[in-house]
Structure 1
Amino acid sequence: MLSGYPRFYIHSLIQKLEKKCLDKFGAAHEKAMLFPSERTALRCRQFLDRYYVKGRSQAEIPSLPRIAEYKITTDGAKLSYVNLFIVLFPQEAFPIAKQFWQHTGDGISSRMAEYCLRHLSNSERAVSTIPPADMADNSDQRTPGPNKMTKAKSSRYGSKNGFRSPSSPINGSKPLAEDLSDADHMTYVEERYGRNLASPFADRCKVAIRRRIAGIVIESDASALDHLQSSITLVGAEDNGHRGVGSLSEDDVYLFPCGMSAIFNTHRFLLGARGDRKSVCFGFPYIDTLKVLQKWGPGCHFFGHGEASDIDQLEKLLQSGERILALFTEFPSNPLLKSADLHRLRTLADQYDFAIIVDETVGNFVNVAVLEWADVVVSSLTKIFSGDSNVMGGSMVLNPNRRYYESLKQFMANEYEDLMWAEDAIFLERNSRDFKDRSHKINQNAEAVCEFLQTSGKVVKVFYPKFTSTKLYEACKTQCGGYGGLFSILFDSEKRAEQFFDALAIAKGPSLGTNFTLACPYTILAHYTELDWAKQFGVAKELVRVSVGLEDRDQLVKTFANALEALDA
């Protein structure tokens, strides 16, 4: 594989920048990992201390994990300098460092790496510094890397519309790497012809994104209120004082570098604001969510089916005296598209004093209104909110009407860092302008394909909110919303799943929410080393997951029909 999903496969530009940092700061036996802030680097080092250093003798460790700071000056661009924080560690510790990178999502962006490489490659003046004493943690005799300073002739960047851009050389200067010259051209086109705002407007783009999310959430909540009573009848419960979220504002929306960063930091904020308690992972989750809850804090209780019987078990656990920090669930879940009984879980949360965090990435803001039942809603903006598959982002939305709102706000005032890289914000703002329209079309396309597959007689089961936990999903479905663009197909044998997948004439890859239809053998990709464990929760290796895009609806249905015909060939 030459590339892959950015949290699982470190982007090639980031790898190039890592090599430059290793050459400057590292030793022959070391590797490096790059972070956008001192705090994220410290958390990575603490993770290495816990899972690599602890339990080993000094003789077994070539060198202790340490941090170097690299200040790259940019000479006239919007940023006067960029600070890189480099975690250096023995090569044998890389798998553990990679876990931190994957689970937290707090590493640097590929666009940040490109920005730094551009200035380094064009002989910008770079200054390296040793971390301050409180960061270096001299108590364990961590040694800094070589302290080098390089000085070179400065160059300037600009563009015809009056602002200076990090990726638009003028005065005849040429990037040294061909892959960066492509980026020059793309930046010029984006900014010159108005598709993207210029780099200096990144802060305004972030405000626009936060306002867009808050507005859609409020609109969806109002839409859900219109048919709340009928939804409550469906789930067999009474309305115990439904509180809308009309008071939500952009100040209650926080942005992160990716969706997993939003989940990881939400858990971290709750631990800090409420103290160390175990959490609950309810329903079969996206792989890294469970890992975060298990590896940070005192651990978690896992209820992998996410059904009524699991709520019964959870209630017994709480009645026994167990006190939990929070319950994390997806709505609906990935890849089985199950919906949790949020009304019943909310009742337990109010009674036993724990927070509910809902990841609505699969459902998305347009289709479901879940903030009413949650303390926090997290989402991966990388997916359908963006759609274009060229930027990552995440969001966290606080419910202003819930009991932990003030304590979280107070804690986050000191702990939250805006780590979304400026150019990523610009692309994300541009991509999400037509988010609602794209969501509606994808809903219609996915429903048409699923209806066809459901009646084909050639698959064992179609996992889709219209057919899976339907009443629970519709209890939170908005009036104008649909069932989303994600579904999974179960076949009666691995061979038939392979035949279908190979014959399915669409893009193949491990993401979702793309503007084009995408399929993957989800269980084999996400749980290759734990197939038996996943199977006990209904996630079988004979499963193919599909994320529907914006193609012509009739052509999409025909594409799936052709793939089913391959089963009879």
Structure 2
Amino acid sequence: MRTGYPRFFIHLTIQELEQEILSRYGRDGEKTMLFPSRATATRCQQFLLDKEPSLTSNHVRLIALIPSVRGNVLVQETQTVASDLFAVAFPSRCSTLAKQMWQHSGDGVSSRRGEFCLKALREGILCREGDQSLPNQLQARTCKGPRRYQKKEPLTENERGNGNGDFPVQHPSPTIPGHEGKEYSQFVEERFGRNLNADLAAKAKLAIRRRIAGCLTDDAELEKALEVSEDVSGHRVNGLSEGDVYLYPTGMSSIFNTHRILMAHRAEPRKSICFGFPYIDTLKILEKWGPGCLFYGNGSDADLDDLERRLTQGEKYLALFTEFPGNPLLNTPDLKRIRSLADRYDFAVVVDETIGNFINVNTLARADVVVSSLTKVFSGESNVMGGSAVYNPQGRMYQSLQKTLDVEYEDNYWAEDAVFMERNSRDFISRIQRVNVNAEAIADVLSSSPLVKEVYYPKHRPSRIYYDQCRNADGGYGGLLSVTFRHVEEAVVFFDALEVQKGPSLGTNFTLSCPFVILAHYNELDWAAQFGVDADLVRISIGLENTAELRFIFESALNAVGQLGLNKKATI
């Protein structure tokens, strides 16, 4: 594979940018990782120094790159987006360790920011901090950013792209039928012709935050979204507003930084709790940053009994992190009991609702912080990443957490990514409703087949009672499900015969399947198996296709499994 999911495979454009920086500022035998701010880069630097005792600050260097024409009058007047860039340079032998920071934290630069910075660096507009002199050809230039963000310079034929709004790097343009509004035309003109306007990106972020808060519940275009009064309370909990929603460059970044902020909030070091079988990076974050983690891989009532016993004996914890429901077994934790324990024994509750999503369930009422990957169903388009953290204004820790957030939070969500995310998310409510219907139909098809060993879907799990306690009146059971068969070869035949897109991720507008455990836990299959996570499990994310067509696709794949059994009998 040459490329893949961005936190696991560093985007080719970013790799090109890394090489450009190393060719200018690197030393022999060095590699680099790229981050959007000094703080995120410094955390990477510190991680390497902490995990590899032989390294010193001379081995792990910070290279700060800043716009060379900062303060230009034209830039200030037009509010053009600019970007700092921070490279962490380290010995190449530490590449695997550095990659852990990139993957687990989700704080690395996005591909669109990477594209912007690569052009800016090559054109001399982005230079190393402290380098005062500019190239001769730039002395008369009075603008900031790569050519596609500059004024008064005509585009070359190559830069104009194919006439459909596609730049040569082939980022999909954010077109949604029926939504080609004024701000879209403005965005295309600015992105491909002149400047990227910072004000447009700020408005996009505000609209996203209002959708997440629940203040905006229709398929409104940007200007209509901005007409919503700022003091409108959301429906999730009383008093919730867009001010309680914080945006991050990825879903993993929202989890990583929530954990980091909670550690900064409480001076006394405490372990965290990971409750239920989690997405792989959540557990790694809790284990590798801070004093450690108590892991309950089953997320069962018996696990809560054990936790309560520990708490009554005086053990103290920072926070309990859980998914609602879990991935890939779709089990649901007892949030009511968890909330009760947290109130009695003074720890925070952090719920990842990416799979359930806040249209289907309301977990914020029983959490201090709800995190989500906006990359998934909130966007649906598979062309942009993002994450959010929502703080419960009714939570016990809310007031004191706000003081910590004032110090610790920084907005690193790249302007272009925000514009794409805002457009993609306009119809997310109707998309989720369609996905709910489709997924429930496919879960019924699979569960009714005698060939299937187990269907993992919130509606069909013993923990459904806990899901329903938080389910909204018009909410469904989400678009993710998993299936296992009695024999490995049956799972293989089913997966191969299933005529849908194949690959990792979930929440896409199209149906997507993958051998999830093989992909996520290839080096720890025995460890996963002890929590009931079978290596041959097939995970399926249901999309927006016609329901009858999807049923036919899945029934055909099941028929292929049935043929395998008939062929075996004939051979015998």
**Shorter-chain-normalised TM-score: which range?**
0.7 to 0.9
**Residues of 1 paired with 2:115 and 2:26: CA distance?**
21
CA displacement at 1:402 relative to structure 2: 1.1
Residues 548, 168 of structure 1: alpha-carbon distance in 2 compared, 3 angstrom cutoff: farther
CA-to-aligned-CA distance 1:330-352 (integer Å, 9 cap, x gap): 00000000000000111111111
In structure 2, the partner of 1:115 is 116
CA displacement at 1:28 relative to structure 2: 1.9
In structure 2, the partner of 1:247 is 239
**Residues of 2 paired with 1:344 and 1:217: CA distance?**
31
> Could you list the runs of 5+ residues in structure 1 that have no partner in the other structure?
131-146, 159-163, 220-242
Residues 157, 81 of structure 1: alpha-carbon distance in 2 compared, 3 angstrom cutoff: closer
Query: Is structure 2 residue 66 aligned with structure 1 residue 71?
Result: yes
Residues 210, 189 of structure 1: alpha-carbon distance in 2 compared, 3 angstrom cutoff: closer
In structure 2, the partner of 1:432 is 425
Query: Is structure 2 residue 389 aligned with structure 1 residue 389?
Result: no
Read off the aligned partner of 1:267 and give its amino acid letter.
Answer: H
**Residues of 2 paired with 1:253 and 1:341: CA distance?**
25
Answer whether contact 2:62 2:88 (CA < 8 A) is retained.
yes
CA displacement at 1:153 relative to structure 2: 2.8
In structure 2, the partner of 1:508 is 502
CA-to-aligned-CA distance 1:67-108 (integer Å, 9 cap, x gap): 011113478665474211110000000100000000000001
Residues 404, 562 of structure 1: alpha-carbon distance in 2 compared, 3 angstrom cutoff: same
CA displacement at 1:435 relative to structure 2: 0.5
TM-score when normalising by structure 2: 0.86
Q: How does 1:165-564 map to 2 (within 5 A)?
A: 166=149, 170-173=153-156, 181-183=167-169, 195=184, 198=187, 199-200=196-197, 201-215=200-214, 245-275=237-267, 276-468=269-461, 469-564=463-558
Q: Secondary structure, in 3 states, of the residue corresponding to 2:562? A: coil
**Residues of 2 paired with 1:326 and 1:174: CA distance?**
55
**Residues of 2 paired with 1:157 and 1:563: CA distance?**
57
> Could you list the runs of 5+ residues in structure 2 that have no partner in the other structure?
188-195, 219-234, 564-572
CA-to-aligned-CA distance 1:444-495 (integer Å, 9 cap, x gap): 0000011011101111010001101111111111111100000000111221
CA displacement at 1:542 relative to structure 2: 1.6
Residues 194, 92 of structure 1: alpha-carbon distance in 2 compared, 3 angstrom cutoff: same
Q: Secondary structure, in 3 states, of the residue corresponding to 1:254? A: strand
**Residues of 1 paired with 2:185 and 2:349: CA distance?**
36
CA displacement at 1:182 relative to structure 2: 2.2
Residues 38, 246 of structure 1: alpha-carbon distance in 2 compared, 3 angstrom cutoff: same
Answer whether contact 1:367 1:480 (CA < 8 A) is retained.
yes
Answer whether contact 2:352 2:372 (CA < 8 A) is retained.
yes
**Residues of 1 paired with 2:48 and 2:116: CA distance?**
28
CA displacement at 1:2 relative to structure 2: 1.6
**Residues of 1 paired with 2:391 and 2:471: CA distance?**
20
**Residues of 2 paired with 1:395 and 1:188: CA distance?**
20
**Residues of 2 paired with 1:156 and 1:181: CA distance?**
24
CA displacement at 1:568 relative to structure 2: 2.3
Read off the aligned partner of 2:137 and give its amino acid letter.
Answer: K
Answer whether contact 1:370 1:476 (CA < 8 A) is retained.
yes
In structure 1, the partner of 2:229 is none
**Residues of 1 paired with 2:401 and 2:428: CA distance?**
29
Q: Secondary structure, in 3 states, of the residue corresponding to 2:88? A: strand
Q: Could you tell which deviates more after superposition, 165-174 or 109-118?
A: 165-174
Read off the aligned partner of 2:559 and give its amino acid letter.
Answer: E
CA displacement at 1:264 relative to structure 2: 0.5
In structure 2, the partner of 1:27 is 27
CA-to-aligned-CA distance 1:348-386 (integer Å, 9 cap, x gap): 111111110000000001000000000100000000000
Q: Secondary structure, in 3 states, of the residue corresponding to 2:540? A: strand
**Residues of 2 paired with 1:167 and 1:115: CA distance?**
12
TM-score when normalising by structure 1: 0.86
Residues 343, 406 of structure 1: alpha-carbon distance in 2 compared, 3 angstrom cutoff: same
**Residues of 2 paired with 1:93 and 1:507: CA distance?**
35
**Residues of 2 paired with 1:192 and 1:476: CA distance?**
36
Q: Could you tell which deviates more after superposition, 433-442 or 168-177?
A: 168-177
Residues 330, 189 of structure 1: alpha-carbon distance in 2 compared, 3 angstrom cutoff: closer
CA-to-aligned-CA distance 1:115-174 (integer Å, 9 cap, x gap): 1123344x34333125xxxxxxxxxxxxxxxx696515357889xxxxx96289952446
**Residues of 2 paired with 1:196 and 1:548: CA distance?**
32
Q: Secondary structure, in 3 states, of the residue corresponding to 1:566? A: helix
Answer whether contact 2:324 2:333 (CA < 8 A) is retained.
yes
Read off the aligned partner of 2:521 and give its amino acid letter.
Answer: H
RMSD across aligned C-alpha pairs, in angstroms?
2.7
**Residues of 2 paired with 1:2 and 1:548: CA distance?**
26
In structure 2, the partner of 1:46 is 46
Q: Secondary structure, in 3 states, of the residue corresponding to 1:153? A: helix
CA displacement at 1:57 relative to structure 2: 7.6
Residues 16, 477 of structure 1: alpha-carbon distance in 2 compared, 3 angstrom cutoff: same
